[in-house]
Homo-oligomer: A and B are copies of this chain.
């Protein structure tokens, strides 16, 4: 298990560095869109558990439309699309519902899937569209994966006290602390390596903030899996589980970094975005 993880990392990390730094933005947008479609497939799969439901392709299509709008549209387009999708998806559920006692829950899951997977993970596209976006995307990946990896290995080596015994029995308090430490370290590494425009306070704040949010994102996704009675969201990547298992932390950290940058820009701090 541990060794297989290392092999996957050896393949993916350099590949990823190349993808983020040297490929044109639209290829990055396509990759994120692919991830969103796959992530929604897993999300609805966990809820509908093998039932063949028309909601699944409709929700995935809505996620694709959201990714496209995030890639090429402006703020007004996002708001109009988001508003339209909430109405349209609830209406779709009204038309498709087989069992009215489940209509409200099914419609809500249909809407929430699009917001959770496409809306939150789609912030990677928004980050890439900012000035110097390739560095921002690389920064959020670096800090998030450092946190995940730090939590995994320090939990394995030092873990004693369970963090969330019911939903995620393998997580420990020691792992959480180790993950947070590595997130902060990665944030300072990112600042000194390729993101000099952020201040020391930003690097510390982002290391702590993204470190905590990444772990909370991981716990939130584990609730979905626990509800579905599965260990992994799918069997996509050997020893890493499904796509959602790999990006559950990013789903929380990418939006957090984007909105942090937007607001510090608002208040005239000298970061170039």
Residues of A at the B interface (CB closer than 8 Å) are 46-47, 75-76, 78-80, 82-84, 86-87, 90-91, 93-94, 97, 100-105, 107-109, 111-113, 115-116, 119-120, 123, 166-167, 213, 216-217, 219-220, 223-224, 226-229, 252, 255, 259, 262-263, 266
Given A111-B108, A112-B111, A120-B83, check contact A97 B223 (CB 8 Å): yes
Q: What is the CB-to-nearest-CB distance from A56 to chain B, in angstroms, rounded to a whole number? A: 15
Do B84 and A259 touch (CB < 8 A)? yes
Residue of B nearest to A93 (CB): B223
Which residues from chain B contact A82 at a C-beta distance below 8 Å?
82
Which residues from chain B contact A107 at a C-beta distance below 8 Å?
112, 223
Q: What is the CB-to-nearest-CB distance from A161 to chain B, in angstroms, rounded to a whole number? A: 18
Q: What is the CB-to-nearest-CB distance from A255 to chain B, in angstroms, rounded to a whole number? A: 5
New contact pairs (15) apart from A82-B82, A103-B224, CB-CB < 8 Å:
A46-B104, A75-B76, A80-B262, A83-B119, A83-B123, A86-B112, A86-B119, A87-B120, A91-B216, A100-B167, A101-B227, A103-B226, A104-B224, A105-B227, A112-B112
Do B90 and A259 touch (CB < 8 A)? no
The 7 A-B residue pairs with the shortest CB-CB distance, nearest first, are A108-B112, A108-B108, A105-B105, A100-B226, A108-B109, A94-B223, A104-B227
19 A-B residue pairs with CB within 8 Å: A75-B75, A76-B266, A79-B259, A83-B120, A83-B123, A86-B112, A86-B120, A87-B216, A87-B217, A93-B223, A100-B227, A103-B224, A103-B227, A104-B223, A105-B105, A108-B109, A108-B111, A112-B112, A115-B115
Residue from B79, B252, B266 within 8 A of A78 (CB atoms)? B79
Which residues from chain B contact A94 at a C-beta distance below 8 Å?
167, 219-220, 223
Residue of B nearest to A106 (CB): B105
Query: In whole angstroms, how far apart are the Cα atoms of A100 and B167 in the complex?
Result: 8
Which residues from chain B contact A47 at a C-beta distance below 8 Å?
104-105
Which residues from chain B contact A75 at a C-beta distance below 8 Å?
75-76, 79
Do B87 and A252 touch (CB < 8 A)? yes
Query: In whole angstroms, how far apart are the Cα atoms of A74 and B94 in the complex?
Result: 33
Residue from B80, B228, B259, B262 within 8 A of A104 (CB atoms)? B228
Which residues from chain B contact A216 at a C-beta distance below 8 Å?
87, 91
Query: In whole angstroms, how far apart are the Cα atoms of A120 and B94 in the complex?
Result: 17
